[in-house]
Amino acid sequence: MNTLACCISEVKLTYKNKVRMSDLPKVNISKDAFDLFYSSWDQDTIQHCEEFKIMLLNRANRVLGIATISKGGISGTVTDVRIILQYAIKSNASAIIVAHNHPSGNKEPSESDRLMTVKIKEAVNYMDFLLLDHLIIVPDNDFLSMTDNGMIH
């Protein structure tokens, strides 16, 4: 046996969708995405700490899934763009919508939020995905859409 082969891990790529595409929720407007994100949020922690999530969509804007990318503290969370790309590639997504919450209730994006959005947009564009929106969700069942507010072009 080759001594190198025993030291190399096997990498597998799997994705199983057990739901018919026509049964998947469809996102037409930012409110649709917000409703799906908000329902996936743990309401016991939405006021406590920031989380960053990704919604994965096919070419018909049907939702393939929602994943939590990171959880942080009261005023921030670290978001690794590589993990976003991993989810998008593995799910065979065509587009993504990202969201994070502001426990403070302030819907306005920080400079850090704006810079992260630009970084994500550049990365997904390079990989031929679309970034459709970045939502900032606040605990009182409200949100800001960066696309609706002209912050994503």
Indicate the pTM of the whole model. 0.88
Report phi then psi at 5, rounded to 5: -60, -30
Cα 49 to Cα 54, 78, 96, 101, distances in angstroms: 17, 12, 23, 8
pLDDT tens-digit map of 70-108: 998 787 888 999 999 999 999 999 999 999 999 999 999
Q: What string of DSSP letters covers 31-69? A: HHHHHHHHHHS-TTTTTTS-EEEEEEE-TT-BEEEEEEE
pLDDT tens-digit map of 116-151: 999 999 999 999 999 999 999 999 899 999 999 999
Q: Where are the domains of the chain?
A: 23-145
Task: Fold for 23-145, please state it.
Answer: Cytidine Deaminase; domain 2 (3.40.140)
